[in-house]
Structure 1
């Protein structure tokens, strides 16, 4: 999820430099509802001390509205 979020950020920057400004957030489909809740609710931070630094880049991208995290069932 962290690597994909970094790719999204890089591609949005590249497209912006080429003159294709991205207005809508890019969807990053996730099947893990717990991960979505942790990113969306920064007050869970005390309970998630073991999560790597990559989490912070995802949360920053989510807060900047450059990505959104729709839930997709595992079957799909």
Structure 2
């Protein structure tokens, strides 16, 4: 009798594992026909005034870019001699 009581819960818990999985097949393409329906709606947009992004401020460059360093090169040659 005790063996049956131990065996019964195991059989009950193992029953779902032997069940076959249901195979669901979906259509490859779904078409929705709105010809017979009247679809009503309204345009939803933000309330209030629209804010425009400010343009970036144009500053004069404080650093002047140089194309050559000839005077410094001549001075360094004189320092080596």
Q: Same fold, TM exceeding 0.5?
A: no
Larger of the two Rg values belongs to structure? 2
Higher relative contact order (CA 8 A, sep 6+): 1
Higher strand residue share:
1
Higher helix residue share:
1
TM-score of the two chains, using structure 2 as the length reference: 0.20
